[in-house]
């Protein structure tokens, strides 16, 4: 499932590529993704201009004029592709993972009559699209449930320390993956951050010292920033707006390396299921 670095990569791409375009038409072959009638949805978005693109957790927020925000959640296998005349020969668009197009926004801009398409490829058809009135965005119940953004100022060592003190019975991996506390730290990045901080994912959050909490805080921020720099992790279906895979999978230290030698010591990478998710760590150096 795309997590914070993957969604942030797409958002940054769309800020550069899609802002200023007007939606002139919309096509779908899977109406269930749209959380209102197709007729109403098209009526509200067509002729609207994309003013800005933001992210909240794993939600992409596309601001349309001064009336609506289009919320897109990629779910397990979704990704957005931006296509125009310059990308007609893009080799990535022809790859299997980019061929499951469920929705298309047809775009135009007045500058030199440029045309483009924003396409939603979604193999499993779990993606979600809905509209929120801009003046009601702060009242949206789904968005209100989300925790702090780990790359913003509110997420600091003191805040993180308090979280671990209030969650003494929860293991640390489950805490940092709890979207109601901290958003976007997915399974891959939780395993990698815990490895970098030398902390066993099975440890109870309340057992961590303040020094360990500080190390883990720094590791989370570094891992997420590095993953964004490398345009996300393409462990499975994720692709960026050009249809290209990310690069963070090339520098993974523990994730998906069960039975292989630890990069840091003579230990072996272990795997177990924690909270129904595969978790990887080195038993020898993560304490």
Exactly one of 2, 5, 201, 245 is catalytic; which is it? 2
Active site residue 277: yes
Exactly one of 128, 167, 277, 283 is catalytic; which is it? 277
DSSP 182: B
Is the alpha carbon torsion for 174, 175, 176, 182 positive or negative? Answer: positive
- Token pair, residue 263, equals 């990069």
- Token pair, residue 168, equals 């003494």
Do 50 and 18 meet the contact criterion of CB atoms below 8 Å apart?
yes
Closest CA to 117 of 126, 125, 109: 109
Active site residue 2: yes
Exactly one of 17, 55, 56, 58 is catalytic; which is it? 58
- Token pair, residue 238, equals 């994720």
Instruction: Give every strand in the sheet of 59-64, ordered side by side.
Output: 50-56, 59-64, 68-73, 128-133
CA dist 190 and 252 (Å) reads 12
Is the alpha carbon torsion for 180, 176, 232, 31 positive or negative? Answer: negative
Q: Is 7 helix (H, G, I), strand (E, B) or coil?
A: helix
Question: Hey, which residues are catalytic here?
Answer: 2-3, 58, 277
């Amino acid at each position: 499932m795309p997590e914070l670095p993957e969604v942030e990569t797409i958002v940054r791409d769309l800020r550069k590529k899609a802002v200023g375009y007007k939606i002139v038409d919309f096509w779908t072959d899977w109406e269930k993704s749209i959380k209102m009638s197709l007729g109403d949805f098209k009526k509200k978005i067509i002729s609207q201009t994309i003013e800005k693109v933001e992210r909240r957790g794993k939600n992409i927020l596309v601001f349309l004029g001064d009336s609506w925000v289009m919320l897109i959640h990629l779910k397990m296998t979704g990704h957005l592709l931006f296509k125009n005349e310059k990308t007609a020969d893009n080799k990535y668009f022809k790859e299997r993972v980019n061929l499951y197009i469920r929705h298309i926004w047809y775009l135009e801009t007045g500058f030199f009559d440029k045309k483009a398409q924003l396409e939603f490829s979604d193999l499993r058809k779990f993606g979600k699209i809905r509209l929120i009135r801009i003046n009601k965005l702060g009242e949206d119940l789904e968005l209100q449930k989300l925790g702090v953004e780990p790359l913003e100022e509110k997420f600091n060592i003191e805040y993180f320390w308090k979280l671990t003190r209030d969650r003494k019975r929860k293991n640390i991996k489950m805490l940092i993956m709890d979207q109601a506390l901290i958003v976007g730290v997915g399974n891959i990045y939780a395993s990698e951050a815990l490895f970098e901080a030398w902390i066993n994912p099975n440890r109870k959050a309340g057992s961590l010292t303040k020094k360990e909490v500080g190390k883990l805080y720094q590791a989370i921020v570094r891992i997420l920033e590095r993953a964004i720099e490398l345009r996300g992790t393409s462990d499975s279906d994720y692709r960026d707006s050009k249809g290209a895979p990310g690069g963070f999978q090339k520098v993974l230290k523990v994730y998906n390396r069960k039975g292989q030698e630890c990069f840091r010591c003579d230990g072996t990478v272990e795997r177990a299921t924690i909270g129904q998710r595969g978790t990887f760590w080195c038993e020898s150096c993560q304490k």
